[in-house]
């Protein structure tokens, strides 16, 4: 349940572009779930998704005493109703009314946006009150929930995701970021958007709603954009802020960077061996400098950053080092993870193994990209691959060898049989739909029992 300021139903109808039928009642609480413990003054938003339809629960909501309903379905009930074209969009628009004076930082990108969002929050929290989207809840509902959570925070950091054109435009049009961040524009969601050019255009939808600054990759296609009055800041080689030296150590990376905006060199340490997090942390550094956070506090915020579950987490199981990065996968993020695997194995002087599942949503290019991953793994020196999924044979084709598995259990059996009681570093990574977190749990059980 979300507590809000008091709204008249007619006021909500105006904000969400809806039509009120019934009494102009007063509400000060919002719910999307009839299972919650309800109090007087509830407005029920009948949201729908891939696996649920809130309209199916309107009758129950009325029985529980709801004071107002927002829905896209025509209903007969004993409560006032606001009819809208899309209840999810209406929910988001009403949430946008809660922003007030809080500055919005909007973060999007093909990969790494959750990590960047959490790094920015960690840095900003050294001086300001900060809230933001939870985990990777980056659609209309997740962004709306973050906006509704605003009380008196100085900043709200929003992760903005998409699966098709127009979705980031919607999120940004409501939140109107003071600063927008595009981490990258790669090949995730190729199946939905068809080309990398379309993905690039989709990510750039955030820019037309940005108020002051846009932090962008230092690539010609971004430098050629007309941003009007928005000030661009380019991150990366030939940009405004870029890396100069990187030192890999057993407990992380220390790097030196150059900031041409503030005419300074600085060093930062991150507790990660994923080299792309150096560039990610430059974005957090940049936002810290824009809002007058001392360098020492920025460095501390980056060092204290902790990633979300199943994202770039490293832990020991007996003599085996596990790199748990199985939350999601794409071509670029898997390449980066394989590089990190080699770094860890070299520093620990242990052989490298990778348990890899399918990269989903690549579409007609799936065979090509999975084969290229196999080629890349062979090129950088991964000792052995254990692959599961529809496209595993193409990874093996690029790797020039490997056993095809038809269940996660047989894959785990083979891996544990091969590694035995020896040392090793193993990366576990696949797209979310492959549910490779189950492999992590089984490895924990089997190795701890052994």
Q: How many domains does the chain have?
A: 3
Q: Which of these three, 269, 284, 304, is where a domain ends?
A: 304
pLDDT exceeds cutoff 60 at 233: yes
In this structure, of 140-144, 150-154, 442-446, the range with the lowest mean pLDDT score is 442-446
Same domain? 236 vs 220: yes
Domain containing residue 133: 98-304
Q: What is the pLDDT of residues 214-224, one digit of tens each?
A: 999 999 999 99
Please say whether the beta carbons of 48 and 88 come within 8 A: yes
| Dihedral over alpha carbons 84, 87, 90, 92 (to 10 degrees) | -170
pLDDT exceeds cutoff 80 at 316: yes
pLDDT bin (cut points 50, 70, 90) of residue 186 is: confident
Residues in the chain: 450
Helix (H, G, I), strand (E, B) or coil at 367: helix
Q: Residue 224's CB: how many other CB atoms inside 10 A?
A: 7
Pairing of strands 81-83, 130-132: unpaired
pLDDT exceeds cutoff 80 at 189: no
pLDDT exceeds cutoff 60 at 360: yes
Same domain? 107 vs 83: no
pLDDT for the residue 307: 81
Exposed, middle or buried: residue 226 (CB in 10 Å: 0-12, 13-18, 19+)?
exposed
In this structure, of 37-51, 141-155, 253-267, 322-336, the range with the lowest mean pLDDT score is 37-51
Pick left, alpha or beta for residue 12 (phi over 0 → left; psi -120 to 50 → alpha; otherwise beta): alpha
Strands across the sheet with 313-317, in order?
313-317, 320-324, 424-429, 352-357, 384-388, 404-405
Same domain? 261 vs 376: no
- Residue 262: which of 289, 243, 291 has the closest Cα? 289
Percentage of residues of the chain with pLDDT beyond 70: 98
Same domain? 30 vs 126: no
Q: What is the pLDDT of residues 83-123, one digit of tens each?
A: 999 999 999 999 999 999 999 999 999 889 999 999 999 99
pLDDT for the residue 384: 96
Same domain? 229 vs 291: yes
Same domain? 55 vs 144: no
pLDDT exceeds cutoff 60 at 450: no
- Residue 133: which of 153, 106, 112 has the closest Cα? 106
pLDDT for the residue 88: 96
pLDDT bin (cut points 50, 70, 90) of residue 136 is: confident
Q: Which of these three, 91, 119, 138, is where a domain ends?
A: 91
| Residues 423, 437: Cα–Cα separation, whole Å | 22
Same domain? 275 vs 160: yes
Tokens of 123: 């840095």
pLDDT for the residue 89: 97
In this structure, of 33-42, 127-136, 149-158, 396-405, the range with the lowest mean pLDDT score is 33-42
Q: What is the pLDDT of residues 235-272, one digit of tens each?
A: 999 999 999 999 999 889 999 999 999 999 999 999 99
Q: Quick one: average pLDDT of 223-242?
A: 96
Q: Quick one: average pLDDT of 427-438?
A: 95
Same domain? 273 vs 328: no
Which domain CATH number covers 74?
3.40.1390.10
Same domain? 320 vs 242: no
Please say whether the beta carbons of 68 and 31 come within 8 A: no
pLDDT for the residue 36: 86
Higher pLDDT, 418 or 52: 418
Element (H, E) at 257: strand 252-259
Q: Which of these three, 259, 278, 304, is where a domain ends?
A: 304
Please say whether the beta carbons of 293 and 123 come within 8 A: yes
Q: What is the pLDDT of residues 372-388, one digit of tens each?
A: 999 999 999 999 999 99
Same domain? 289 vs 331: no
Pairing of strands 26-31, 2-8: antiparallel
Which domain CATH number covers 166?
3.40.1190.10
pLDDT for the residue 318: 86
| Residues 339, 274: Cα–Cα separation, whole Å | 7
Same domain? 348 vs 216: no
The residue with tokens 């309903």 is 69
pLDDT for the residue 449: 65
- Phi, psi torsion values for 209, nearest 5 degrees: -110, 10
- Residue 15: which of 114, 75, 84 has the closest Cα? 84
Same domain? 77 vs 184: no
């Amino acid at each position: 349940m979300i507590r809000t300021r008091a709204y008249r139903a007619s006021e909500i109808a105006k904000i969400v572009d809806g039509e009120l039928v019934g009494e102009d009642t007063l509400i000060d609480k919002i719910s999307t779930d009839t299972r919650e413990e309800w109090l007087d003054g509830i407005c029920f938003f009948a949201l729908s998704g891939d696996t649920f339809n809130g309209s199916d629960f309107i009758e129950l909501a009325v029985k529980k005493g709801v004071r107002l309903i927002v829905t896209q379905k025509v209903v007969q009930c004993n409560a006032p109703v606001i009819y809208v074209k899309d209840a999810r969009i209406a929910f988001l628009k009403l949430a946008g009314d809660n922003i007030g004076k809080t500055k919005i930082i909007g973060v999007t990108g093909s990969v790494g946006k959750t990590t960047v969002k959490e790094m920015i929050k960690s840095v900003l929290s050294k001086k300001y009150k900060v809230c933001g989207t939870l985990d990777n809840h980056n659609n209309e509902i997740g962004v709306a929930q973050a906006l509704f959570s605003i009380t008196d925070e100085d900043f709200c950091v929003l992760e903005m995701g998409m699966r098709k054109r127009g979705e980031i435009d919607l999120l940004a049009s409501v939140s109107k970021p003071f600063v927008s961040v595009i981490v990258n524009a790669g090949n995730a969601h190729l199946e939905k958007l068809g080309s990398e050019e379309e993905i690039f255009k989709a990510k750039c939808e955030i820019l037309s709603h940005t108020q002051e600054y846009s932090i962008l990759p230092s690539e010609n296609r971004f430098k050629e954009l007309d941003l009007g009055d928005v000030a661009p800041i380019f991150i990366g080689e030939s940009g405004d802020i870029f890396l100069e030296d990187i030192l890999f150590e057993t407990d992380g990376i220390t790097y030196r960077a150059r900031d041409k905006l503030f005419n300074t060199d600085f060093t930062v340490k991150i507790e990660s061996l994923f080299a792309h997090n150096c560039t990610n942390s430059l974005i957090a550094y940049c936002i810290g400098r824009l809002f007058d956070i001392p360098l020492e506090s920025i460095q501390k915020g980056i060092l204290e950053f902790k990633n979300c579950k199943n994202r770039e987490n490293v832990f020991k199981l007996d003599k085996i080092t596990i790199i748990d990065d199985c939350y999601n996968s794409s071509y670029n993020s898997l390449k980066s993870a394989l590089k990190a695997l080699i770094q860890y194995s070299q520093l620990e002087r242990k052989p490298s193994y990778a348990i890899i599942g399918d990269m989903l949503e690549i579409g007609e290019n799936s065979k090509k990209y999975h084969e290229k991953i196999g080629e890349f793994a062979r090129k950088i020196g991964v000792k052995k691959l254990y692959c599961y999924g529809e496209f595993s044979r193409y990874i093996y084709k690029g790797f020039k060898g490997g056993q095809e598995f038809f269940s996660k259990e047989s894959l785990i059996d083979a891996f544990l049989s091969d590694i035995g009681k020896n040392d090793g570093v193993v990366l576990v990574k696949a797209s979310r739909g492959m549910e490779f977190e189950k492999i992590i749990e089984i490895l924990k059980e089997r190795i701890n029992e052994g």
